[in-house]
Amino acid sequence: MVVKEVVTIFPARVGQTTKLICRTRIGNQWFVLTKNWKILTDEQFGKGKYANEEIMEISFSRQRSTYSFAFDLHPERENPAGDDVEDMKWTIERALETDKHNAAFNFFAKHMQVNPIGMTNPNLLGEPMFKMVFVNHQTVNECIKSDKKVQVYNKVSAMNLQDKLNLALYFMPSLYGKRHSEIKNALINLESGLLLTDAYLDEVIAYDPFNTTVAMRTYVNKAIQMGILTSGANGYYMQGNVYVGADEMAIMGYYLKDPASYNNVIVPAVNKMVKLPEDDLVFLHEDLTERLRVTQDFEKNKGDGVNRELWLTKLTQTQEEAKMLGIKNVMQKTYTSLAHEIDSVKRGDHKHLKQSKQPSADPQSVMGALRTEAKQLGVKGYAIIKSADKLKEMIKVAKAQAEEAEQAQAS
């Protein structure tokens, strides 16, 4: 398949009237490009069979601000016919494509006044007077880059809060102690997220939290942020007086040589102190039914001129107020019901806060048992469900599906 490439050359200063003389030094030798697309040395030019060749000159003005030419990206023949006449005919027809291909990569991209965007020109002298773009190559690269950004965004978004915190501490330790929304925004905001910049894409895609070096760097950054490793003269200290290094990399080098201190001091201390960020994005983890409920609640209560973002801010503020008043199951309730309960508490009616006289199981242990059962049944999304009743219903459905599958196999 023939793949075309288009090269566009233009002055570095837009609209400038100037001329690109196709003569340059490449390495230690001078070369020219002729109007017939031949690359010749100074010694070859104008002599022998090249006596009638002329140097190519490209003029630019306000009326002609760019110069473009196209060629086959792979001009060599992949499957020769095996017939001398046909092969020779093909070679003659393709000679110009080959010459243009060579001119693009071996002359213009190495010209001492031209900056080939996206490539390195070792012959460039000072500020470039001209720039060149491999149009199709750039388009392909932009597509690849976009795909990588989607991979990174999806990878980070799919992480649970603990994994997201570890990722943040690996790439951006200053995010320790921030809320979930602040962490996510700093890492993968579509316009300014650190991990969506070109320099980080490949590293995030390859990021493996179970890699020994990755885990150690994460623990070291946690220890620094938590104050387990204290800052002092010339760097950081363990247990107050044991110098471990000037920075993160030096500290990792120290613990690679002294794994006992890392495993017996740093890891246990970090595990004991680490806390998950405040999850102010909990509403994003709701399933479709819950999202629909929130949307319907918004439509009923938004009022004139209030957009969804402002309403969500209002909802969040109401949820925080409800928590401070001791109202239970705040995140599972609508704005309307929360507003009624807050009003009830303020009026002195505390019936909804009364505890049952019957002893009840520890909610955490109940949820733990339910999550274990859900995991064994392969229930999807069990880890983010906050309601015991909802989780019980999901387990019930999973059991029914398992029974149906067994009956189908038996028949």
Q: What is the pLDDT of residue 216?
A: 93
pLDDT in tens, 236-277: 999 888 999 999 999 999 999 999 999 999 999 999 888 888
Q: What is the pLDDT of residue 402?
A: 74
pLDDT-above-90 percentage for the chain: 43
Distances (CA, A) of 244 to 111, 220, 239, 255: 50, 11, 10, 8
Q: What is the pLDDT of residue 63?
A: 86
pLDDT in tens, 180-224: 999 999 999 999 999 999 999 999 999 998 899 999 999 999 999
The C-alpha atoms of residue 25 and residue 163 are separated, in whole angstroms, by 53
pLDDT in tens, 329-346: 777 777 777 777 887 777
Which string of DSSP letters, residue by residue, matches 363-396?
A: HHHHHHHHHHHHHHHT-TTGGG---HHHHHHHHH
Q: What is the pLDDT of residue 304?
A: 47
Distances (CA, A) of 61 to 20, 65, 78, 131, 290: 12, 6, 41, 15, 62
Q: What is the pLDDT of residue 360?
A: 45
Structure token pair of residue 333: 């309730």
Structure token pair of residue 200: 């980080």
Is the pLDDT higher at 305 or at 227? 227
At 122, is the secondary structure helix, strand, or coil? Answer: coil
Q: Which residues pair with 404 in a beta bridge?
A: none
Mean pLDDT, range 308-332, rounded to an integer: 73
pLDDT(177) > 60: yes
Mean pLDDT, range 136-150, rounded to an integer: 83
pLDDT band for position 233 (cuts 50, 70, 90): confident
pLDDT(358) > 50: no
pLDDT(366) > 90: no
The amino acid at 274? V
Q: What is the pLDDT of residue 85?
A: 58
